[in-house]
Amino acid sequence: PMQMVNDSTFVMWFDANHLKEYVSSDEFKNINPKYPEKKKKLEKFANGLNEFDNPVLMFLTLRHTQYGV
């Protein structure tokens, strides 16, 4: 589920267990990210979650460029 906060920001939430499952999946492991250190940071974060943790909120902010959003 995604909600719009304003014209350039969205918020998404993930159940802690679903995030852990995704991070341990082959799909995630086979991704070749632009910033590998951020992938490792997400893995470390997700591995520290347990089934009783609150949902994880992810904020997405669009950057404006000279060509538009």
Could you read off the pLDDT of 23-50 as tens digits, one per residue? 999 999 999 999 999 999 999 999 999 9
Position 22 pLDDT exceeds 80 = yes
Residue 9, pLDDT score: 92
- Burial state string for 4-37 with b = 16 or more CB within 10 A and e = fewer than 16: eeeeeeeeeebebeebbeebeeeebeeeeeeeee
Position 21 pLDDT exceeds 90 = yes
pTM of the full predicted structure?
A: 0.73
Parse the chain into domains and list their residue ranges: 2-61
